[in-house]
Amino acid sequence: MQDILVLGIESSCDETAAAVVKNGRQVLSNVISSQIDIHTLYGGVVPEIASRKHMEKINQVIEESLSEAGVTLSEVDAISVTYGPGLVGALLVGVGEAKAIAYAAQKPLVGVHHIEGHIAANYIEHPDLEPPFLCLVVSGGHTHLVQVREYNTFEVIGCTHDDAAGEAFDKVARAIGLGYPGGPKIDKTAKAGNPDAIAFPHAKIAGAEFDFSFSGVKSAVLNYLNQCEMKGQEIVQADVAASFQKAVVDVLVERAVAAAKKLGEKRIAVAGGVAANTSLRERMQEECKKEGITLYYPSPVFCTDNAAMIAVQGYYGYIAGKRSGWDLNAVPNLKIGCN
């Protein structure tokens, strides 16, 4: 069989990324230009700055990804790009670029759903992983339980009613003075804290056993901080971080494992930025082992935003015959399983 090379492009939030992937599984290059430093100055992602930074970096990042992979644009079989969900201005830079180079080089264009890309990140280091499986998607903007039926067929069986898990991490980190980006900072700080120091709520949604809600735990942390301040009580940052993290991780693990048991899924994959969380990985591993479920998760670099995952999902779309037209546009609120 002839090798298939896909160039992936990702610009939905604050990473400008390009990657070349061979046959959907072998990463030949994975270039990521992070904007974290500049957004840190503002305590979070500033959409207009993100778009401008993508515009500045995108050609350089693509050039680097091709040269690192040792291929030219003409040797690539298809170009895949994230077209949603995400920040509209940020997405437009990647989509515009992908359309321009696909048009100029006369290559097929495959638009990829960002979350489907996160799920596909699991294929990179797990050659044995193939659908069907259950995926817990936990990113800055999404918390979903997804049944991956086939490479291009997804069924959402649970989602958050308010904040995403990563969003809660980011907001709580800001409130306890850890700053942006919150997830990795809480992860690190929590290691020195007592997860049972403060009992934060574990929200359940009546009538929707696999759905999530994280605004309650976030508000509980804010109330706790206010009460401490009013009482003149010292805040132990590590204990708050560890207790908050436990509340979130408990719920994610419990619901993912319950869903797998109910659906008869013997494999769970975790995807998205929060999948890099040490405690989530450990707790998932423990509970999956008890239930005889095999757990998959990507290395941290493939958990957070990257273009390799977009090239992987782009490959599975490409071999299934998916093609995007020259009218491909950014869709900031793109639903999963719609493309």
- Give the residue, chosen from 32, 81, 135, 274, that forms a contact with ligand KG4 under the rule CB under 6 A: 274
Q: Identify any residues that bridge with 112 across adjacent strands, giving them in sequence order.
A: 82
Q: Using CB distances below 5 to 8 A depending on partner kind, what does residue 198 bind out of Zn ion, ligand KG4, none? A: none
- State which of positions 128-147 bind Zn ion (CB under 5 A): 139
Phi-psi region at 23: left, alpha or beta (left = phi > 0; alpha = psi -120 to 50): left
By CB under 6 A, residue 183 contacts ligand KG4: yes
**Nearest distance from residue 160's CB to ligand KG4, in Å?**
12
By CB under 5 A, residue 122 contacts Zn ion: no
Residue 324 φ then ψ, to 5°:
-100, 150
**Nearest distance from residue 76's CB to ligand KG4, in Å?**
25
Q: Using CB distances below 5 to 8 A depending on partner kind, what does residue 141 bind out of Zn ion, ligand KG4, none? A: ligand KG4
Residue 112 φ then ψ, to 5°:
-120, 140
Residues 157-176, mask of contacts with ligand KG4 (x by CB under 6 A)? ---------x--xx------
By CB under 6 A, residue 131 contacts ligand KG4: no
Q: H helices then E strands: how many in the chain?
A: 11, 10
By CB under 6 A, residue 304 contacts ligand KG4: yes
Q: Using CB distances below 5 to 8 A depending on partner kind, what does residue 152 bind out of Zn ion, ligand KG4, none? A: none
Residue 163 φ then ψ, to 5°:
-70, 150
By CB under 6 A, residue 19 contacts ligand KG4: no
Chain CA centroid to CA 302, Å = 9
By CB under 6 A, residue 273 contacts ligand KG4: yes
Number of amino acids touching ligand KG4 (CB under 6 A): 20
By CB under 6 A, residue 243 contacts ligand KG4: no
Is 261 within 8 Å of 210 (Cβ atoms)?
Answer: no
By CB under 6 A, residue 298 contacts ligand KG4: no
How many Å apart are CA 192 and CA 100, to the nearest integer?
49
Residue 62 φ then ψ, to 5°:
-65, -45
Nearest to 90 by CA among 65, 114, 110: 114
Question: Cβ–Cβ contacts within 10 Å for residue 304, how many?
Answer: 26
Query: CB-wise, 29 or 139, nearer to ligand KG4?
Result: 139
By CB under 5 A, residue 116 contacts Zn ion: no
By CB under 6 A, residue 94 contacts ligand KG4: no
By CB under 6 A, residue 184 contacts ligand KG4: yes
- State which of positions 281-320 bind Zn ion (CB under 5 A): 305
**In this structure, what token pair is assigned to residue 260?**
């797998």
Query: CB-wise, 211 or 305, nearer to Zn ion?
Result: 305
By CB under 6 A, residue 120 contacts ligand KG4: no
Question: Cβ–Cβ contacts within 10 Å for residue 235, how many?
Answer: 14
Phi-psi region at 84: left, alpha or beta (left = phi > 0; alpha = psi -120 to 50): left
Helix (H, G, I), strand (E, B) or coil at 160: strand
Chain positions contacting ligand KG4, by CB under 6 A: 13, 118, 139-141, 166, 169-170, 181-184, 187, 272-274, 276-277, 304-305
